[in-house]
Structure 1
Amino acid sequence: MLVQIDDANGVRTLTLNRPEALNAFNEALYDATTIALRDADEDPTVAVVLLTGAGRAFSAGNDLVEMQARITDPAFQSGQYGFAGMIDTLTALRKPLILAVNGLGVGIGATILGYADLVFMSTSARLKCPFTSLGVAPEAASSYLLPQLVGRQNAAWMLLSSEWVDAAEAQRMGFAWKVCEPDALLAEAARHADILASRSIPSLIAVKQTMVDPTRSEITAAATREYAQFAELLGGAANADALAAFAERRGS
């Protein structure tokens, strides 16, 4: 099961479950996560969604093997929902979303933080937006959401540098609300999720709607701009070199 689903006290915990690939998102995981998020949003017994990762990573981002196949394999098959479907679902999500970032978060594993209502990070977790090192554009409306979340200069460093940011720095910047020891992370995130889930679900939805509605059109516009830039750069010289280098390291 690519996404493990557990229910308790009105909290639905979704665990990305591709640990052998550091929970990197291939088409199948994008589809499974999209379906799980939509089901949670539509289930009247679910008040809060808690998302985490299995193993030592939260998510290593886009599966670069599939990214290369998208460029080189004429028979490459996109998923039912894919990346765009998951982003649309996150944008429309009505219920509170809590992230428990248990390990490294790369690419979408970092930019997804822009959609969270609360973020808990393990002290051992790190974030990276590797777009410039891969020769591509930002994704997931991060060019809009990250400046909103952490300010222009913190966002600029994350998006332009392709450097790692550790948990303490992520909290200082504003990416994370709480930083916890690894063994305490999920319990602490679940404790706060339980508090929210004890409240009225229609009220939770109303609060989130009033907070998020003003930004949804901006998120959609930013994603559209990013898709255009990404399509232009994907398969270009810098991107092709980066993917070839990745394939060489993987094969050695």
Structure 2
Amino acid sequence: MTLTIADENRVRTLTLDRPEALNAFDEELYDATTVALRAAAEDAEVSVVLLTGTGRSFSAGTDLAEMQARITDPGFTPGQYGFLGLVDALAEFPKPLICAVNGFGIGIGATILGFADLAFMATTARLKCPFTSLGVAPEAASSYLLPQLVGRQNAAWMLMSSEWISAQEAHRMGLVWKVCEPDDLLPEARRHAEVLASRPLSSLMAVKRTMTAPLAAGIAAARDRENACFAELMGSADNASALADFNQPKS
């Protein structure tokens, strides 16, 4: 099981649960999370989804061993939904989505915050968008959503530098709403989730729909641009070299 699901007081908590891989998304986890979000969207007993991770990582992003296998292994079998399916589910999710970043978030573990309605982050957590260090392009409409959230220059630094962003910096930028001590993170995120879940679901969904509708065309266009750039750069000399170096056994 790579994803655990728990319901309480109309809040469905999805916990990324691959601690041995720092909750990196392999094809199985992409599919499981996509299915879980779609199920929550359809379930009238669920008003809010809270997404977090287990262990010391929120998510280490896409499993880079699988990314390399996609390039080098002719027999690689992609999942049913994969990365693009998860981003579809996030973009279409009609209910409040709360992220509780318990540890470091890399790649999709950071860019997923562009789809969060509220984001909480532990004081010890950090974020990184490693695209330039891997020789690839941005993902998950982050080239559009991050400038909307944090301003162009903050977004440019995050997407171009491949440097770590502290919880305090993410809060200053406006990428996360509240920073909590690690032991307080989930209780605080859950407390706020339950406040929202106590409101009429139809009203929650109407608020979200009216807030996100103006962004839909921009998200779709950004994803098309990003996917085209990603396809162009994936497997390039820079990308292949970065992945090979990353996946080499460390002494």
**Cα offset for 1:49?**
0.4
Q: Distance in 2 between matches of 1:67 and 1:82?
A: 12
Q: Distance in 2 between matches of 1:190 and 1:247?
A: 37
Q: Distance in 1 between matches of 2:250 and 2:127?
A: 25
* 1:88-107 matches, cutoff 5 A: 88-107=88-107
Q: Provide the identity percentage.
A: 71
**Cα offset for 1:251?**
4.9
- Post-superposition Cα deviations, 1:100-142, rounded to whole Å, max 9, x if no partner, equal 0000000000000000000000001000000000000000000
Partner of 2:55: 55
Q: Which amino acid aligns with 2:192?
A: H
Partner of 2:81: 81
Q: Distance in 1 between matches of 2:149 and 2:19?
A: 28
Q: Distance in 2 between matches of 1:214 and 1:191?
A: 29
* 1:109-128 matches, cutoff 5 A: 109-128=109-128
Determine whether 1:154 maps to 2:154.
Answer: yes
Q: Distance in 2 between matches of 1:247 and 1:116?
A: 31
* 1:174-213 matches, cutoff 5 A: 174-213=174-213
- Post-superposition Cα deviations, 1:62-91, rounded to whole Å, max 9, x if no partner, equal 100000000000011110000000000100
**Cα offset for 1:184?**
0.6
**Cα offset for 1:226?**
0.5
Query: Helix, strand or coil: the match of 2:25?
Result: coil
Query: Helix, strand or coil: the match of 1:244?
Result: helix
Q: Which amino acid aligns with 1:196?
A: L
Tell me how large the CA RMSD over aligned residues is.
0.6
Q: Distance in 1 between matches of 2:180 and 2:96?
A: 20
Partner of 2:173: 173
Q: Distance in 2 between matches of 1:151 and 1:251?
A: 38
Q: Distance in 2 between matches of 1:238 and 1:174?
A: 32
Equivalenced residue count is 251
**Cα offset for 1:175?**
0.8
**Cα offset for 1:217?**
1.6
Q: Which amino acid aligns with 1:130?
A: P
Q: Which amino acid aligns with 1:128?
A: K
Q: Distance in 1 between matches of 2:187 and 2:76?
A: 40
Q: Distance in 2 between matches of 1:118 and 1:170?
A: 13
Q: Distance in 1 between matches of 2:80 and 2:99?
A: 24
Structure 1 runs (4+) greater than 4 angstroms displaced = none
Q: Distance in 1 between matches of 2:211 and 2:5?
A: 27
Unaligned runs of 5+ in 1: none
Q: Distance in 2 between matches of 1:26 and 1:185?
A: 26
Q: Which amino acid aligns with 1:44?
A: A
- Post-superposition Cα deviations, 1:175-230, rounded to whole Å, max 9, x if no partner, equal 11000000010000000000000000000000000000111121111011101100
Query: Helix, strand or coil: the match of 1:109?
Result: helix
Query: Helix, strand or coil: the match of 2:148?
Result: helix
Partner of 2:239: 239
Q: Distance in 1 between matches of 2:226 and 2:186?
A: 33
Q: Distance in 2 between matches of 1:29 and 1:223?
A: 21
Partner of 1:140: 140
Query: Helix, strand or coil: the match of 1:133?
Result: helix
Query: Helix, strand or coil: the match of 2:35?
Result: helix
Q: Distance in 2 between matches of 1:223 and 1:132?
A: 17
Partner of 2:10: 10
Q: Distance in 1 between matches of 2:214 and 2:166?
A: 31
